[in-house]
């Protein structure tokens, strides 16, 4: 059964995404449950990304590149959104089929105790997804579906949350990354659940050299460790 399509705002973050943005927009508007509005938040693209928006009905918002954080970009789009449901999508992520959005929204629309949902990420041909994500996806597939596993699977590469809940709990704009992980943790502490839509498929991966891949992994690990170091009460509660 298809979900109710009323009140869906899709927020796409862009920065020099000329190669991917048209595919992402095409896939979004071709969904069986299409968004009611599409908001593009661009952080200073110089490669012609904005020219590719011509012909699409989108609301364009821009932020200075030097001020970018994932939380800031996300909140900028959300502040302009009108839908009851907010969908986050990276411009270089591509829905696999026309029921991606329908399946992503189903947990939110069927259970008011769920705060956020994210899609199942798979890699493009000859690319790879993040090793940490492979780990948590594997644990989930093996039946380990604890709050910790669901929290680590929550990603703003592609997520769905409620506008009303975001207004009370915007994403942290002061941290460079891991804003999605922190938000999921905060929601769990408030008594909400985080869901994982394993039937909502999304291509998202990176074509990186071995050295670039290691730098990226190390940067992500440092960011996550920094998040828990700056919130020592997390470790005291044993929530890592």
pLDDT along the chain (240 residues), means of 10: 67 95 96 96 96 95 95 97 96 95 97 97 82 89 94 95 96 89 92 97 71 53 61 51
Q: Across the chain, how many H-helices and E-strands are there?
A: 9, 8
- pLDDT of amino acid 165: 96
- How far is it, in rounded angstroms, from Cα 240 to Cα 225? 10
Confidence (pLDDT) at 60: 97
Interaxial angle between packed helices 70-79 and 179-189, expressed in degrees from 0 to 180 and rounded to the nearest 10? 70
Tell me what pLDDT residue 217 has.
Answer: 56
Task: Please give the span between the terminal C-alpha atoms of the chain, in angstroms, as a whole number.
Answer: 37
For the chain, list the domains and their CATH numbers: 8-207 (3.90.550.10)
What pLDDT does residue 240 have?
Answer: 44
pLDDT at 131: 79
Q: Cα separation of 197 and 181, whole Å?
A: 16
> Rounded to whole angstroms, how far apart are CA atoms 187 and 175?
18
Q: β-strand 59-62 against 94-95: which pairing, if any?
A: unpaired
Q: What is residue 126's predicted lDDT score, i.e. its pLDDT? A: 74
- As a 3-state breakdown, the chain gives helix, strand, coil percent values, each rounded to 5, of 40, 20, 40
Q: Please, which residues have CB within 8 angstroms of residue 42's CB and are 6 or more apart in sequence? A: 13, 14, 15, 49, 50, 60, 61, 62, 63
Please give the pLDDT value at position 127. Answer: 74
pLDDT at 132: 81
């Amino acid at each position: 059964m298809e979900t109710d399509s009323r009140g869906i705002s899709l927020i796409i973050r862009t920065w020099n995404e000329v190669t991917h943005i048209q595919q992402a927009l095409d896939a979004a508007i071709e969904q069986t449950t299409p968004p009611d509005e599409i908001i593009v938040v661009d952080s200073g693209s110089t490669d012609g990304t904005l020219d590719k928006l011509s012909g699409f009905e989108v609301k364009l918002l821009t932020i200075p590149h030097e001020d970018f954080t994932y939380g800031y970009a996300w909140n900028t789009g959300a502040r302009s959104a009108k839908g009851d449901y907010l969908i986050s999508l990276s411009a270089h992520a591509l829905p696999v089929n026309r029921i991606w959005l329908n399946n992503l929204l189903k947990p939110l629309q069927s259970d008011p105790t769920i705060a956020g949902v994210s899609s199942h990420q798979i890699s493009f041909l000859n690319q790879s997804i993040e090793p940490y994500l492979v780990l948590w996806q594997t644990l989930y597939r093996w039946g380990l579906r604890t709050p910790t596993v669901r929290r680590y699977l929550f990603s703003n590469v592609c997520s769905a949350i409620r506008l009303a809940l975001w207004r009370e709990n915007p994403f942290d704009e002061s941290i460079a990354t891991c804003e999605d992980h922190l938000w999921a943790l905060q929601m769990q502490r408030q008594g909400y659940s985080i869901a994982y839509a394993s039937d909502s498929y999304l291509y998202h991966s990176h074509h990186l050299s071995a050295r670039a891949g290691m730098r990226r992994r190390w940067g992500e690990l440092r960011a996550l460790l920094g998040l828990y170091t700056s919130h020592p009460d997390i470790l005291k509660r044993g929530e890592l």
